[in-house]
Every structure is written in C-alpha cells, then in structure tokens.
Amino acid sequence: MCGRTACTLGPDEVCRSCSVRTVGKDGKKQYQAPQWRDHPGDHTYRPSTNIAPTRYTPVMISEHHVRGVKRENEGSELPSQCIIQPMLWGLIPPFYKGENATGHGYSTTNCRLEDIEEKKSYKPSLVKGQRCVVLCDGFYEWQSTKGNKNKQPYFIHAPQPEGVKIWDRSTWDVKGVWSEEEGWKGPKLLKMAGIFSIWMSAEGGEVMSYSVVTKASEGKFTSLHHRVPAILNTDQEVQDWLDFGHVNYRTALSHLAKGQPDLEWYPVSTQVNNSRNQEPELNHPIDLDKKPPQSASSQLMSNWLKMGSGRVKKEEKSGNIKEKEVKKENGKDDEVKEENVKEEPGSSDK
C-alpha cells in the first residue's frame, strides 16, 4: 500500500495542476506553475494508467535541492519555489554500493510513518531534508477485508471539481483549462508525502528515487484497506512538508499523523492486476453487478461442457451407462492472477 498508481497528464499539465496563487513585487496576484526539470540521464516520465514500482513518475521537491535553478517569479510571497521532475519509484538506500540502481533487494516502495525514523534506509533522507511530494491521478488498491481470493481492485483519487471525471479527459481538456489569472481547472491530483534519496552509480550517473509515506487508515477507508498514503490536502500542507529549512522533520512527521485524507474510490477492471497491461481504460469505473464479457477460451470451455453434459444425460436416459459425473471447470482466463497483485509492496515495512 500503495503499490500501483496512475498519472496520465503530460509534464506541462502536471506542473499547471500544481499552480499556486502568488503575489509579485508589483502586488499583482496570479497563479504560478512550478518548473519542470528532466531527470539527469535518460530517465523519462511516460504518462500511464498503470504505473508500477521502478517506473519514473513526477515528484515535487524544493528548489533548494537543485543547483542552478533560476526563479521565474523572484520576489513572490512564497518563501520557496518548487521543482517537479521524474524520480524512480522505490528509494535506493544510501548505503547501497551495487552497480544496478534497482538491484539492492530492499522493499522501499513505501515507508511506514510509525517507524520511519528507525530505518537506516530512510533516516538519512529525513536528516538531509529530502522530503518530496509524489504526484498522481490516484492509486489502485485491492480490497483486503473480504478474504484473499479474487480481490477486487479499486481506483482511489481526490474529490474532483464539478463536471471533471478523473478517467475522462474529454470532461476537462478544453481551451482555458489553465491561465495565470484563474489557475488550473482540470483534474485535482493526489499529493502524497514522500522522501527521496540521491544515488551515484560507479560511472558517476545520478539516480533520484523516492518512497511513499503510509500510515494506518481510519474511518470509511478501513473497509478497503488498513493502510493509506499520507496525503497532503492543501497548498499549505505541501509547503510545510517541502520547507525543510523552516519545518524540521519531526514536526513535519507529526503533521502527517494528524487527520485522514478526503478520498473517493470506485471499482476497476482486474486487467490492472498485471502491470504489463497499459490500456488507457484501466482507470475507468466498472459495474460490479454486470458480469464481464467471457474470454474466447472460457467461452469455448463453457460450450464444450454444455455439450458434454447433454451427451451424458442422453446416454443415461438410454441406459447405455449406469453412472457418470460431470465436473464443471473454471476457465483460467477468468481468474485474477494474484501473483500480480501486491497488497502492500514494502513488506519489510509492514
């Protein structure tokens, strides 16, 4: 928890969706979007409805972590500007000395708020002020309160502006969706608290990676899962989490422990269970009361069983056989592949 996300906006749209109202030296009020920074090396972000760990996704950090950044709105009322850039999902421990960025073998997709200070993988990031905000349309969760078989996936997202459907781009992608005067009118992204690290390969290549901070869930979300990401609901909460110069990490962690996020969710297709599936409809809502269409192989098996059952009954009636049992088998294509569902990646941090 969480082990799969969706982020379907392009880099410019991600930045604009994080616009903050500022006041310039001239007293003019306008919305300012954070700058986008490409990750060093060939590590790019690709929008997707099904993002698994080890992918590069948009993350917001303070400008003070990046050298040589030129402020676009010098003198604004904000004490610090933000930068958005792709980072590897799955924090690379600072003590790791291997050759491959993802070869350390530790489960660092998520880090638990309750013991984050005790983990040697995460404590250095806290001390250095390496706090970040993970941006996404939402995340997927598999209901864990109704047994372990055939878990139903759900897509969890922030409450959206009136008329905006998070899964339907046509409801918001229109002229005037963003302006300096009125800000962003498109989908509201989830902003999850995270920590990051900077790892250098033997060749001197830099890789920035992150882990999502999670905590025990409360209220209605407990019907879906026992843990939830630490969500930053307001611009002030985002600023306090990123402003390591004025808010020390113990105070910042105490803020995360308070309250529960305002979230909404709906069921989605089990096709999202396999991270290789990248269809654009994976985050669309489905009707659980409506039986999904049967796969070709399952349909063939069903027809075969019906034919076999008919033959048995006919033979029994004619007295050609005394007894024969027909067993119905479930087509494998209709089963949820549990090996592709990770209830809470980061098992070492449960």
Q: How far, rounded to the nearest angstrom, does the alpha carbon of residue 175 sit from its chain's CA centroid?
A: 28
Tokens coding 256? 């995360």
- Three-state secondary structure call for residue 178: strand
Q: What's 23's domain CATH number? A: 3.90.1680.10
Count of residues making up the chain: 350
Sign (positive/negative) of CA torsion 197, 201, 202, 204? negative
Tokens coding 318? 């004619």
> Is the N-terminal amide bond of 7 cis, ω within 30° of 0?
no
Residue 99, domain extent: 5-289+336-349
Averaged over 339-346, what is the pLDDT? Answer: 35
Q: How far, rounded to the nearest angstrom, does the alpha carbon of residue 116 sit from its chain's CA centroid?
A: 20
Residue 46 near residue 40 (C-beta atoms within 8 A): no
Domain count, the chain: 2
DSSP one-letter code for 85: E
329 and 341 inside one domain: no
99 and 212 inside one domain: yes
Q: What is the dihedral of CA 162, 190, 176, 168, to 10 degrees?
A: -60
Q: In this predicted structure, what is the pLDDT of residue 74?
A: 46
What are the catalytic residues?
2, 141
Which neighbouring-strand residues pair with 193?
133
Residue 199 above 90 pLDDT?
A: yes
Which pLDDT band, with edges at 50, 70 and 90, does 77 fall under? very low
160 and 179 inside one domain: yes
Of 164, 122, 133, the C-alpha closest to 65 is: 133
Share of the chain above pLDDT 70, in %: 77
* Backbone phi and psi for residue 126, each to the nearest 5 degrees, phi listed first: -65, -45
226 and 325 inside one domain: no
pLDDT tens digit string along 25-41?
Answer: 788 889 999 999 998 77
210 and 307 inside one domain: no
88 and 207 inside one domain: yes
Residue 69: how many CB atoms within 10 A of its CB?
A: 14
Residue 295 above 70 pLDDT?
A: no
211 and 316 inside one domain: no
217 and 324 inside one domain: no
Can you tell me the distance from the alpha carbon of 248 to that of 252, in angstroms, rounded to the nearest whole number? Answer: 6
Can you tell me the distance from the alpha carbon of 239 to that of 202, in angstroms, rounded to the nearest whole number? Answer: 35
Which pLDDT band, with edges at 50, 70 and 90, does 270 fall under? very high
Residue 329 near residue 301 (C-beta atoms within 8 A): yes
pLDDT tens digit string along 89-126?
Answer: 999 999 999 888 989 999 999 999 999 999 999 999 99
Share of the chain above pLDDT 90, in %: 63
Which pLDDT band, with edges at 50, 70 and 90, does 314 fall under? very low
Residue 74: how many CB atoms within 10 A of its CB?
A: 9
314 and 274 inside one domain: no
pLDDT tens digit string along 9-18?
Answer: 999 999 999 9
Q: In this predicted structure, what is the pLDDT of residue 29?
A: 86
pTM value? 0.80
81 and 120 inside one domain: yes
Tell me whether strands 56-62 and 110-112 are parallel, antiparallel or unpaired.
Answer: unpaired
Averaged over 202-212, what is the pLDDT? Answer: 90
Can you tell me the distance from the alpha carbon of 95 to that of 44, in angstroms, rounded to the nearest whole number? Answer: 25
Can you tell me the distance from the alpha carbon of 214 to that of 113, in angstroms, rounded to the nearest whole number? Answer: 6
Residue 297 near residue 333 (C-beta atoms within 8 A): yes
Tokens coding 77? 């009322």
Residue 329 above 60 pLDDT?
A: no
64 and 182 inside one domain: yes
